[in-house]
Amino acid sequence: QLSLADYRGRPVLVVNTATRCGYAGQMATLEQLWQRYQTRGMMLVAVPSNDFGGQEPLEGAAIAEAARQSHGATYAFAEKTVVRGPEAHPFYRWAAAQRPAETPRWNFHKYLIGRDGALIGGYPAATDPLSPQLVQAIGRELGAG
């Protein structure tokens, strides 16, 4: 069980993932991002979800293992979680209240939380993890420390 409070004072990228999604290749790009910024204090948390297209059929540790085998993912994986609607995890309900126009519409939506715990932004599924807008936002947070 992951607690975001454990990462207070560090920027955190939270990504809802699914191993059978067409965007699953982003797990490898997320690994590149993780390798680049983990030593500078960034935290990356994958949140497996079956909310979009039923694309996460795996359960438990099998999800992280599949991501490691297929994409080399070494970052943290939360438990499989509901990320939208009234049954969503409290983090996702909080994020939706903070930024209603930037809620997950598909797998691989990214939320960036700042060092101060504020939600900096939501980035849609098609946003590459190494996109300039996301990399620059992470860099600003890491520089703010």
Residue partners of 140: CB distance under 8 A and separation at least 6: none
Distance CA 22, CA 25 (A): 7
- In the numeric block, the tokens 């990462």 are attached to 7
Beta bridge partners of 17: 48
Task: Find out whether 19 and 80 touch, Cβ atoms under 8 Å.
Answer: no
Q: State how beta strands 119-123 and 76-77 pair.
A: unpaired
DSSP label of 44: E
Is residue 21 among the annotated active site residues?
A: yes
Q: Tokens 């691989």 appear where?
A: 108
Per annotation, catalytic residue among 12, 14, 15, 21: 21
Active site residue ranges: 21
